[in-house]
Every structure is written in structure tokens, then in C-alpha cells.
Amino acid sequence: MINSSLKTLSQMLAKKEISSVEMTQTFLNRIHQFNPTINAYIALDEAKTLAQAKAADARIAAGNAEPLTGIPFAQKDIFCAKGWRTTCGSKMLENFIAPYDAHVISQFDNAGAVNLGKTNMDEFAMGSSNETSYFGGVKNPWNFDRVPGGSSGGSAAAVAARLCAAATGTDTGGSIRQPASLCGFTGLKPTYGLVSRYGMIAFASSLDQAGPMAKSAEDCAMMLNVMAGFDERDSTSLNHPKEDYTRGLAGMSGDKPLKGLKIGLPKEYFADGLDAGVAKVVQDAIVEYRKLGAETVEISLPNTKLSIPVYYVLAPAEASSNLSRYDGVRYGHRAAEYTDLTDMYCKSRAEGFGAEVKRRILIGTYVLSAGYYDAYYLKAQQIRHLIADDFKQAFKECDIIMGPTAPSTAFRAGEKADDPVAMYLQDVYTIATNLAGLPGMSIPAGFDKGLPVGLQLMGNYFDEARMLDVAHAYQQVTDWHLQMPDLKAPEGLK
Ligand code: GLN
């Protein structure tokens, strides 16, 4: 059951082959077995979880279930969930109990889904390895010496280790797709504005976007159906008509389902810096796509190399502003001892934030300062437009863009922790889509030396349905997305 698709789980519940309480308990048991080692979840509340499962069973019995009713999901700890401790991976919010639900959480609740718990993450979603979390690192289920990627590392490990049916994540510069690549599952970052950011703790508001992290494209489509939609409480939520993201999936089998599809391969994504083992897996996946009937064309995204520097001006700038709310007055950590108000601010922030968050606040404050604004912030905004224009040009020549998701497979814990620039380069292929506001996806495409490799798909604005179809077509003829790590239960636990 743990490797079943959401559709299968939904059918099992509908046919009463299993109850939601039993299904939820199965995942809770796995969490008990493996979470002490993997550290994917940082908040569990079994009473709440099982109450939701019971309510879901009643709803199923009453005959008004929706596709996700009764299915247990993991929620990234960046989403406020009423009554749940919500920390964003920070000491600053160590004791914060959210008084309301994020839009994403209420959408899952309304669908009758079960919340298994809150997942570990890099502090305030800043990181690519989950090592900046105040609650400790997360182990990659494929190899415990390796990181799961980040910042959605807890959700990633939970999906890969089958400690949930699927999970949510957020992606500001790659935090759904890079961990999806490193942990071997399917993750989708929607078009900016498609999923409401209401109640999602802000990092860089013009880039942050929530999305599904699941085994397959089909699972992601079912989750996106629940997550997407206009919400007036988020001023950047887009009033895009509701879509059924599963609508095209059925047509994706049979001979040459992708006939007529033009795939763009950006030459900058296959240049220096890409690990040879990763390149091989990606090239093999592209061969498979040609077999499915697609045609490939070489394209260019000339400003690719500027996306990291631009991001590391803009994201810290926005973060420095967003994180100014943590002042020890309203909520969050407050220093125990201080001499006056300024000292209280300083000590509370010095104690509450970790090193990476402080680094970003410093950079962000610097680039926004009167003397440097034009040189850094304004310049970065201008280049952001050029990056978006690159994609606009590219989509004149192709329907979808493909390339690697991350430059390497999962690296060792500690390997890049002291080298921020090496860490930042993990997102070299993902950040541009965030800057442009475009949707992107990572799907499992194979392994290199026993570690998963992801293939990235990038679509035009609101082209999620097509991306999902294209991913699904590949998943009809490959089984990378169904492979799971062989986890051994610790002694004494069954
Ligand atoms: N790794 C990038 C960063 O550290 C992106 C993180 C994210 O997408 N939340 O900012």
C-alpha cells in the first residue's frame, strides 16, 4: 500500500478495502520506525491526525468523498496549520502555535485529506540540503550519509521513504525540484500566483510558490487540483480559471502519445558544471522522449549564468524585509535578558536566527541600502526581466523545455555546509524559472551510482496540465518513479 498511487489509495478507501484510520495508522507506524533516524517530521500530533482520519471515514461512509478524502499527507512546516506548532525550521518560531490555517492547509482539509504532521526544512526555506534547520539535518532515504536536498528536505525524505502518501513543499529557487531530484520523486513548482501564499511563511515573496511533492505526475495533478485556485487573501494570487490537471493523463499512453511535441534543450544546461553521471541519465531520458514521438530542438537561455547572482540579490532583499517582523515583540523568540528595547530586538534576533538566515538579512539589507540600491537591487530587477525574456523567446521555438534539475546527485552531509557559494550552485538550473514566474517540475529519470537523478521540465505560464501530461507519458513507459529505497527497520521495531 505504501507504494500505491493516490488514485489507488482513493479507490481502496472508496471500496472500503481499508479505512482512512487504518491507512493513516500504517503511515504513522512507518514514521515511528524510521523518523527517529531520518528526521523528516518535526511535529506530530497523532490525536489530531487520527481525528481527521475518523472524520474522513465518516465522510466516505456518507458518500460525499472527494478524490483525496482520507489520504494522509505530510505538510512542510512553512505552512501555518491551526493548533499545530509551526516553526519554519527556526528557533525563532520554536514555540509558535499557528492560530489559523494557510490556504494550502485549508484546501487539503476541505478535501478531507489527513495531515500526518509537519516536515523539517531549512530555516525559513533558505538552503539546499536541509542542514540549516534548527531541528537538525534530514537523511536522504537512499543513502543516510547524503542530504535530501532542500529546503523542503523533510517532505522530500518523507515522500521517498514512503512516510506519507505525498507531501507539500515550497519552491523559491528550487526547493521542490532539487530535493525531488536528489530523493527520486516527482515535484512540481506551479506558475507564480497559481497557489495562494496566504499563511505560508514568507521568505522571498515574489518568488515563493507552493506545490506538490509526490511519487508520480498523476499524484501531483490530483494534488494541484486541490491546491490551485484564486484566493483574495494573497494579493499576488492570480484569478486563473479552475482547471482539472488530470484531464489529459488518460490520453498519454499508446503509440507515440507525444507526437507533435517540441522539446527545447537549452545548451547552457548541458555545459560545464553538470556532473557526467547526471548528464548521461538526462540524455537517456531525452532519448526515451523521442521514442514517445517528441521532437527535440536546441535552444538557448543566454542569461542562465546570471540567475544565481540575481537571485542572491533579490531573495535576500525580500527576506530582509519579510523577516523584520521577528522582533521579539509580537511573536516568536524573545531574549530572556536585555537592557532596553533596542537590546531586546538585537538579542532576540541574534539568538532566534541561525547563521544562513543572518547572512541573508545582512546581504539583503546591504543591497537595499540607499547607496547600493541602484547598483545591486535595481540591476538585479533589470536582469530578472532579461531572464524572463529568454524564456519568452525560447517558447517561440518549443512547447516545453527539458534539462537536468540539479547539477549533481545527493552530496554528503557537511560537504558544502561551509561553502555557501557551492551550496547556492545547486539551484543553477531551477532558479531561472522562479525569477520568470514559470512552472517547473522534476521527475525521476534514473540513478547514478545508486543515487536518484531528476529530469527537469519547464513549461510556459499556466501550462501545468501539459507538463503533467508530458511527465505522465514518460512514467507510463518507465518505472523510476516507483522505485523506493530499501529501508531496514531499526532493531526491536517492526
Ligand atoms: N536553495 C535556494 C535558497 O537557499 C532556494 C530555496 C528555496 O527554494 N526555498 O535560497
Degrees, nearest 5: CA angle 417-175-386? 105
In this prediction, residue 494 carries a pLDDT of 43
Whether 125 is in the pocket of ligand 1, judged by its Cβ within 6 Å, is: yes
Nearest residue (CA) to ligand 1, atom 5? 173
Rounded to whole angstroms, the Cα distance separating 41 from 174 reads 20
| Alpha carbon of 259 to ligand 1 centroid (Å) | 36
Could you tell me whether strands 114-119 and 166-170 are parallel, antiparallel, or unpaired per DSSP bridges? unpaired
Whether 315 is in the pocket of ligand 1, judged by its Cβ within 6 Å, is: yes
Q: Is 49 exposed, middle or buried (0-12, 13-18, 19+ CB in 10 A)?
A: buried
Rounded to whole angstroms, the Cα distance separating 367 from 32 reads 45
One-letter amino acid for residue 222 of the chain: M
Contact between residue 150 and residue 170 where contact means Cβ atoms under 8 Å apart: no
Lookup: cell for 137 = 539535518
Bridge partners, residue 454, by sequence:
444
Whether 174 is in the pocket of ligand 1, judged by its Cβ within 6 Å, is: yes
Structural domains of the chain sorted by starting position, each given as residue range(s) with its CATH number in brackets = 6-257+477-482 (3.90.1300.10)
Rounded to whole angstroms, the Cα distance separating 445 from 481 reads 8
User: Of 88, 90, 121, 128, which is best to mutate to test ligand 1, by the most ligand atoms within 8 angstroms of its C-beta?
Assistant: 128
Whether 107 is in the pocket of ligand 1, judged by its Cβ within 6 Å, is: no
Lookup: cell for 62 = 456518507
In this prediction, residue 253 carries a pLDDT of 87
| Alpha carbon of 171 to ligand 1 centroid (Å) | 7
| Phi, psi at 279, each rounded to 5° | -55, -40
One-letter amino acid for residue 16 of the chain: K
User: Is the bond preceding 216 in cis, omega lying within 30 degrees of 0?
Assistant: no
Lookup: cell for 291 = 521514442
Query: Considering only CA atoms, which of 261, 274, 268 is closest in space to residue 300?
Result: 268
Whether 13 is in the pocket of ligand 1, judged by its Cβ within 6 Å, is: no
Whether 132 is in the pocket of ligand 1, judged by its Cβ within 6 Å, is: no
Lookup: cell for 201 = 511563511
- Could you tell me which residues come within 8 angstroms of residue 374 by beta carbon, excluding any fewer than 6 positions away? none
In this prediction, residue 489 carries a pLDDT of 66
Rounded to whole angstroms, the Cα distance separating 98 from 101 reads 7
Reduce the DSSP state of residue 67 to 3 states and report it.
coil
Nearest residue (CA) to ligand 1, atom 10? 126
How far are the Cα atoms of 55, 136, 161, 411, 444 from residue 487, in angstroms, in the given order?
A: 31, 21, 8, 19, 19
Query: Considering only CA atoms, which of 95, 77, 82 is closest in space to residue 52?
Result: 82
Contact between residue 183 and residue 406 where contact means Cβ atoms under 8 Å apart: no
Torsion, Cα of 419, 434, 85, 115 (10° steps): -120
| Alpha carbon of 430 to ligand 1 centroid (Å) | 10
Whether 357 is in the pocket of ligand 1, judged by its Cβ within 6 Å, is: no
Rounded to whole angstroms, the Cα distance separating 169 from 224 reads 12
For the chain, the residue count is: 494
Rounded to whole angstroms, the Cα distance separating 171 from 192 reads 10
Rounded to whole angstroms, the Cα distance separating 101 from 277 reads 42
Is 76 assigned a catalytic role? yes
Query: Considering only CA atoms, which of 109, 118, 117 is closest in space to residue 87?
Result: 118
Quote the strand ranges of 39-78, DSSP E: 41-43, 72-76
| Alpha carbon of 252 to ligand 1 centroid (Å) | 33
The catalytic position among 175, 196, 320, 348 is 175
User: Of 78, 151, 213, 405, which is best to mutate to test ligand 1, by the most ligand atoms within 8 angstroms of its C-beta?
Assistant: 151
303 HSE (CA, 13 A, CB side) = 24
Whether 367 is in the pocket of ligand 1, judged by its Cβ within 6 Å, is: no
Rounded to whole angstroms, the Cα distance separating 169 from 177 reads 9
One-letter amino acid for residue 77 of the chain: D
Rounded to whole angstroms, the Cα distance separating 68 from 108 reads 8
| Alpha carbon of 173 to ligand 1 centroid (Å) | 5
Rounded to whole angstroms, the Cα distance separating 86 from 80 reads 6
The catalytic position among 19, 128, 133, 151 is 151
In this prediction, residue 491 carries a pLDDT of 56
Bridge partners, residue 456, by sequence:
403, 442
Lookup: cell for 70 = 482520507
Is 151 assigned a catalytic role? yes
With a threshold of 0.95, does the pTM exceed it? yes
Whether 153 is in the pocket of ligand 1, judged by its Cβ within 6 Å, is: no
Q: Which helix (H) or strand (E) holds 330?
A: none
Listed as ranges, residues in the chain with pLDDT below 70 are 489-494
- Could you tell me which residues come within 8 angstroms of residue 78 by beta carbon, excluding any fewer than 6 positions away? 86, 88, 89, 121, 125, 170, 200, 201
The catalytic position among 4, 76, 133, 237 is 76
Whether 131 is in the pocket of ligand 1, judged by its Cβ within 6 Å, is: no
pLDDT tens-digit profile of 237-296?
999 999 999 999 999 988 899 999 999 999 999 998 999 999 999 999 999 999 999 999
Residue 3 burial (CB count, 10 A): 10
In this prediction, residue 142 carries a pLDDT of 98
